Chain A
């Protein structure tokens, strides 16, 4: 009976969300794909040009591939650093120590500030540091400070968030399993690798997904820290600059759109593979 009623009213309950989803996601998404095959100035005057935009990107757009290489490097580094750091912090802060709550709050706090503000504040801070340590301004073109600075900022910002997820995971591990292992004479390292890590696998899945997609899609910190310089652009910023950065070509909007489609495919593929891989490693306690 209950089930039947639910079924009957299902469309009505789903409708508002569905409409919102269609308007805000499905329509723009397919329009976006369509526009990537067009030449246009505004989205209403599109003219079909086929795969011309894609050909241009693969044949001539070096900046895009430089940005892609940089983004991949950035993502790999940030995923490793953030997750190792967050996991270590989580382990530390789940030990019964004094003040763990305060530290959890402190580490989580960077998440509460918006990316662009953060970027500008960090830019000044990093500038002072690089001048003191190396004698160069942070934006000095001969050095690659911009990239490493970005890594510092993003790590600092995301680590606290991931830490909270890991803490939740670690706290969910049943006490008796750990205790049984300890009685059987397992070393702390064994407990970590044989019990803790397999049991927090769901958290790892989530954290890897979040850090990976966040680093790949990074935009505001990149812009605030490094401006629109070609030497420090990540993919998302490059897409924006292609469309709005003032290219002389009347194809630039379509090319930017095509880049966005390529970008989407890459992000979708990577996260799909990653989810598949880590999901298969998840176990029940």
Chain B
């Protein structure tokens, strides 16, 4: 009998531990809730805090490991990094944030991501890291608070192979397009004329198509739904004099259609296959010289040079703005901005928050940190941060900086960070694919996009 009591007691004790385990987890989270708001209290001692960074770039996870070790060695602050798998950042963040040892630093993709995570974002306006930021308008702000700071600047446009264009302009019997070199192309009209004539001469040019695949299949459509869509949205916002909208007019949908048509009608693959390939395939086509133009950004240089059989050299690159036929686009430049805003977790302890702010400062000021940023992020806009090393390593970065510094052109900012949600972008991508395949009309795409925009924007603010 006694043994039975013993075993029952054991049973209860163990079950109780399990329950206590859960209970204490709740305690920590409510404890830290109370510390919210007092995030960047400078009195907190950074050296006793810990840094836990949730990394959004799986391709450079090893570099992060080394970086964190170096940070601990140089400053004595404990630091670790966890890397989310490709396309799994939100999933991983949701799981990690629920743990008692939650990330102290994480990234959101602009105002939309901030909306999901705002209960976890600390005000960073008192941090030295924010003081160092050059463009104070580029942050995610609400009221007087600064809740997300851009880690880098990235630039996209039409990456062109100059050699193929040069070859084209030397051909006999080409149409009169009003252009005699690639630099002459400065409007959609000219781009269209040159591209269509190049497509007609594709055998002479030994290419499969002027544009590499548009890749509007699911998960691969971000170049069209996020990047290309930025242009019609930018001009719409400009016309309306706003920076965000509850309702999308899609007044530049005709231009969006024109440029997308140009891509898919003059591509390496038939129009109906626009939804088949992957972005990687698209870049391989460009690297191998099978296509003359690929729409992509500064980050793509590594992909191009890393391709087996790459024939592209640094001097072959021409970075053309994406012309869609908007008024005054002769002066349009490339699209520069970022989607990666770093946030400090407001539910972390004050020491951890201070340590995290310290880490960010160190990242952009120390030798080890800046080297990492240059190699992995590219361009960044912080006081005392030198971008020339990044430009030397990556011709796309170099051209992007030249473009940004050119007083004759204006830069397209990444207004697509204001699109309502990933679901909205997915639907647009799906419809682009259907349009390319011919199973829906363009009007349907436009009406779906405006309707979904309104419903997703409304859903974001519902209480």
Question: Taking beta carbons and an 8 Å cutoff, which residues of A are in contact with B?
Answer: 8-9, 11-12, 15, 18-19, 22-23, 27, 41-45, 136-137, 139-142, 227-231, 244-251, 253
Whether B219 and A228, one on each chain, are in contact in the complex, defined by CB atoms closer than 8 angstroms, is yes
Q: Knowing A42-B94, A248-B460, say if A19 contacts B14 (CB, 8 Å).
A: yes
User: Is B26 part of the binding interface, using a Cβ–Cβ cutoff of 8 Å?
Assistant: yes
Whether B456 and A137, one on each chain, are in contact in the complex, defined by CB atoms closer than 8 angstroms, is no
Q: Which residues of B contact A11 (CB under 8 A)?
A: 4, 7-8, 10-11
- CB proximity to A under 8 Å, residues B425-450: 425-427, 430, 433-434, 437-440
Give the residue of B25, B433, B459 whose beta carbon is less than 8 angstroms from that of A141: B433
CA distance A9 to B3 in the complex (A): 8
Q: Which residues of B contact A251 (CB under 8 A)?
A: 459, 462
Whether A140 and B4, one on each chain, are in contact in the complex, defined by CB atoms closer than 8 angstroms, is no
Interface centre among B25, B26, B218, B456 (most CB of A within 10 A): B218
Interface centre among B10, B430, B457 (most CB of A within 10 A): B430
Minimum distance in angstroms from B423 CB to a CB of chain A: 5
CA distance A8 to B4 in the complex (A): 6
- CB proximity to A under 8 Å, residues B345-382: none
**Chain B 6-47 interface mask (CB, 8 Å, partner A; 1/0):** 011011001100100010011001000000000000000000
Give the residue of B14, B29, B421, B424 whose beta carbon is less than 8 angstroms from that of A44: B29
Whether B426 and A44, one on each chain, are in contact in the complex, defined by CB atoms closer than 8 angstroms, is no
Q: Knowing A41-B116, A42-B97, say if A245 contacts B438 (CB, 8 Å).
A: no
16 contacts between A and B (CB under 8 A): A9-B7, A12-B7, A15-B11, A15-B14, A42-B98, A43-B98, A44-B26, A137-B275, A141-B433, A141-B437, A229-B430, A231-B430, A244-B94, A245-B422, A246-B90, A249-B460
Q: Knowing A41-B97, A244-B90, say if A250 contacts B217 (CB, 8 Å).
A: no
CA distance A142 to B90 in the complex (A): 32
CA distance A153 to B208 in the complex (A): 34
CA distance A231 to B434 in the complex (A): 11
User: Beyond the given A11-B10, A41-B119, A137-B437, could you list 13 further A-B residue pairs with CB under 8 A, ordered by the A residue number?
Assistant: A15-B7, A19-B14, A44-B29, A141-B430, A141-B433, A141-B437, A245-B423, A246-B421, A246-B422, A246-B426, A248-B115, A249-B462, A250-B460
Whether B459 and A23, one on each chain, are in contact in the complex, defined by CB atoms closer than 8 angstroms, is no
Q: Which residues of A contact B95 (CB under 8 A)?
A: 42
User: Is B273 part of the binding interface, using a Cβ–Cβ cutoff of 8 Å?
Assistant: yes
Q: Knowing A22-B18, A42-B98, say if A247 contacts B276 (CB, 8 Å).
A: no
Give the residue of A8, A18, A142, A230 whose beta carbon is less than 8 angstroms from that of B430: A230
Q: Which residues of B contact A231 (CB under 8 A)?
A: 430
Minimum distance in angstroms from A244 CB to a CB of chain B: 5
Q: Which residues of B contact A22 (CB under 8 A)?
A: 15, 18
Whether B421 and A248, one on each chain, are in contact in the complex, defined by CB atoms closer than 8 angstroms, is yes
Give the residue of A142, A244, A245 whose beta carbon is less than 8 angstroms from that of B426: A245
Residue in A closest to B96 when the chains form the complex, CB atoms: A42
Whether B91 and A142, one on each chain, are in contact in the complex, defined by CB atoms closer than 8 angstroms, is no
Interface centre among A41, A44, A227, A248 (most CB of B within 10 A): A248
Residue in A closest to B19 when the chains form the complex, CB atoms: A27
Q: Which residues of A contact B200 (CB under 8 A)?
A: none
Whether B10 and A15, one on each chain, are in contact in the complex, defined by CB atoms closer than 8 angstroms, is yes
CA distance A230 to B421 in the complex (A): 16
Minimum distance in angstroms from B451 CB to a CB of chain A: 13
CA distance A56 to B98 in the complex (A): 25
Q: Knowing A15-B10, A227-B218, say if A248 contacts B117 (CB, 8 Å).
A: no
Q: Knowing A27-B22, A246-B422, say if A142 contacts B115 (CB, 8 Å).
A: no
Q: Which residues of B contact A139 (CB under 8 A)?
A: 217, 275-276
User: Is B272 part of the binding interface, using a Cβ–Cβ cutoff of 8 Å?
Assistant: yes
CA distance A23 to B112 in the complex (A): 35
Q: Which residues of A contact B90 (CB under 8 A)?
A: 244, 246
CA distance A15 to B9 in the complex (A): 11
Closest 9 CB pairs of A and B: A246-B422, A227-B218, A248-B421, A142-B439, A249-B459, A248-B460, A42-B98, A42-B97, A141-B434
Whether B276 and A41, one on each chain, are in contact in the complex, defined by CB atoms closer than 8 angstroms, is no
Q: Which residues of B contact A23 (CB under 8 A)?
A: 18
CA distance A231 to B25 in the complex (A): 40
CA distance A22 to B15 in the complex (A): 9
Q: Knowing A22-B18, A27-B22, A44-B26, say if A247 contacts B459 (CB, 8 Å).
A: yes
Q: Which residues of B contact A41 (CB under 8 A)?
A: 94, 97, 116-117, 119-120
Give the residue of A137, A141, A250 whose beta carbon is less than 8 angstroms from that of B116: A250
Minimum distance in angstroms from B275 CB to a CB of chain A: 6
Q: Which residues of A contact B97 (CB under 8 A)?
A: 41-42, 44
Q: Which residues of B contact A249 (CB under 8 A)?
A: 456, 459-460, 462
Q: Knowing A8-B3, A247-B456, say if A228 contacts B426 (CB, 8 Å).
A: yes
Q: Which residues of A contact B276 (CB under 8 A)?
A: 137, 139
User: Is B49 part of the binding interface, using a Cβ–Cβ cutoff of 8 Å?
Assistant: no
Whether B438 and A248, one on each chain, are in contact in the complex, defined by CB atoms closer than 8 angstroms, is no
Interface centre among B90, B116, B457 (most CB of A within 10 A): B116
User: Is B420 part of the binding interface, using a Cβ–Cβ cutoff of 8 Å?
Assistant: yes
CA distance A180 to B95 in the complex (A): 63
Residue in B closest to A242 when the chains form the complex, CB atoms: B423
Q: Which residues of A contact B29 (CB under 8 A)?
A: 44-45
Minimum distance in angstroms from A74 CB to a CB of chain B: 19
Interface centre among B8, B95, B272 (most CB of A within 10 A): B272
Whether B25 and A140, one on each chain, are in contact in the complex, defined by CB atoms closer than 8 angstroms, is no
Minimum distance in angstroms from A130 CB to a CB of chain B: 12
